[in-house]
Structures are given as structure tokens and as C-alpha cells.
Structure 1
């Protein structure tokens, strides 16, 4: 079922993989948490954030959780930061840790984000700097999944990176529940 064929009742019951700007005007998101997967889907492990969002889209998620495939969006994602009070990013990192390691960071500045691996590096960090210039900044959380290499022109994930996705989703859902309790 596509978003355009869902009724308003359906929108209230199940989280949505956001795919259009119109969604931002359909629902009050002050009580919602956005899970934002970023990365380049065509660069192997570097796209793990996008793969994770695709897996979350198959699950029955709490109604206060929205998910978004942010791709390499950069400044195109700024309206998310105006709409949500709490945002959980998911991205790949080459931090020297064992492949598939999941880490949670609380970035306060763009420089707190780990070095990105492809073209979304400049856009993401610049966008985060712009967020900190906004009147109201959301609370940001960043889950990283450690990778060893970037392989251009493939959508395949390394086995350890792929195995990390369900574990990361479990941690994200747990954090979402905790954050939801803080909002209420």
C-alpha cells in the first residue's frame, strides 16, 4: 500500500517511511521520534543506514516512531529538524572498530559526527551546522555501525555489517521508548 492510498486512520496507527514533503503537514510530530538512516545505498556498507530503514519499514513499530531514508540528502533534510524534537541518526563509520560494531553518540556539533565516507560528508556536516543555527534544535542521537571498506556500485553488505542491523534496530527501539517517556 503506498502512502497516497492510506487513509488518515492508517497514518495514525502505523509509522510511515516518509517519502514526500506533504507528510510534514499531515501530522503533529512534537510527540514523535524520527529515525533517520543516511548513507549511499550504492556504495555497499556505506549505505547501512538506508538498509536499516528498509528493514524497519517491514516491522510493526510504535506509533510515535517515524522512519526516513535520508540517503545523501544533506540540506534537503533540514525540514526534519524543524519538525521533530528528537532525531536518531543511523550511519556507517570507519572508526577502526571491529566491523559490525554498533556505537551510540550524542553529537553536539558537526565535528562530533564521525567522518563520513562518501559524498554525504560535506552535506551532512554542513546541514548539522545549520541545525545549530536554528532557533530550536532537536535532541540528536547517532547510532554508527563500523565498516571496514566502501565498495562502489554494489548494494551488498558485508556479513558482519548485515548481522548488526537487527541488533541496531533493537537498540534504536529501546532508545525510542526511553525518549518517548521523556516527551510524555
Structure 2
């Protein structure tokens, strides 16, 4: 039997944001285009997290290329951890943590979804919401249209990135009980 890629797992719906008080929860939000190879690493990471047992204070969301559609996340959560790909010239699979305060603090756009992401962050601050935002980036070397496969180095970075995200989440929970 051939080793087929698993289809994406539906993580939530619009009703998800109204199910419970999320002020003490941390949202892990993976963004990217699942159909563009390594550019979709944020979505792949969320799919991997969906297969794990996570702490009760962690919620995950496959944000895809949502842009402004994700704005309600910032109304519901005080802390949001983004995961996205970046083409920053570093070796593929390099993981970095950035504390963006403005849209200009986000890495250079890889595709159209980043324009929406940057605009959404500016809108968050214009609405007078002040969430604690953290951004994990995973370096990619190229984008391969019309494939869901990740390059070996980028795929190999996912477990380490998840460990770093969960470690940060645990530390943030003690800071923001």
C-alpha cells in the first residue's frame, strides 16, 4: 500500500470562538498555504499538533490563508502564538521566535497570505486590542506550487518547533494565569 499524505484535519469552526472563555487559554495559530509546499508549514504543524494530547490551556487553529477572517481570534485570546514560513536566507528548517509589535515586524512576505496577515495585525492594534503575540518562523528555501509535500529539512523541523511552542506556552501560562 502506498504511503499517502494524510488529508488536513478540521480543527475548529466559527462556533469554536464562543464555546468557552478563552482569556486564560493560548491560541497556537498556524498559517500558510497548504498547497504550496514548504509555504504551508504552519498548517502542517497544526495538523501534527492535532494528533497529540495537548495541555488544556492550549487551543490550536489551522488559519490557512485567513487574513482578516482570523480577526476574531484576537478578541477571544489574550495570547496568540503564530507559526509561519519565512524565506529569510537561513538554512531550511531553521526555527526562530519573533515578538512582532507591528505588521512591519513580520518577515518578508512569501505569498499573498502574508499581506493579509500583516494587514490583520495592524487592524488588531487599530481596534485597541493588545494581545500578547509571538511568532515562530520556520525558514524555507523555496515554494513549490501545487504540492502538499514538505521538503525533508522543513518537515524535520516540525517536532522541534512543537516542543518549543509548548515550552513557551507553559511559561506564558505561569505569567498569565
Q: TM-score range by the shorter chain?
A: over 0.9
Q: How well do the aligned residues superpose, as a CA RMSD in angstroms?
A: 0.9
CA–CA distance in structure 1, aligned partners of residues 129 and 44 of structure 2: 30
> Where does structure 1 differ by over 4 angstroms across 4 or more consecutive aligned residues?
none
TM-score between both structures, scaled by the size of structure 2: 0.93
Task: Provide structure 2 residue ranges, at least 5 long, that are not aligned to the other structure.
Answer: 1-9
Match of 1:109 among 92, 102, 111: 102
Counterpart in the other structure of 2:4:
none
CA–CA distance in structure 1, aligned partners of residues 143 and 136 of structure 2: 18
Match of 1:148 among 132, 141, 148: 141
Task: Provide structure 1 residue ranges, at least 5 long, that are not aligned to the other structure.
Answer: 1-16
CA–CA distance in structure 1, aligned partners of residues 115 and 85 of structure 2: 15
Counterpart in the other structure of 1:99:
92
- Verify: 1:167 aligned to 2:160, yes or no: yes
Match of 2:121 among 111, 128, 139: 128
CA–CA distance in structure 1, aligned partners of residues 106 and 33 of structure 2: 17
Q: Indicate the SS of the match to 1:132.
A: helix
CA contact (8 A) 2:11 2:50 kept: no
1:1-184 alignment runs, 5 A limit = 18-184=11-177
Q: May I ask how many residue pairs the two structures share in their alignment?
A: 168
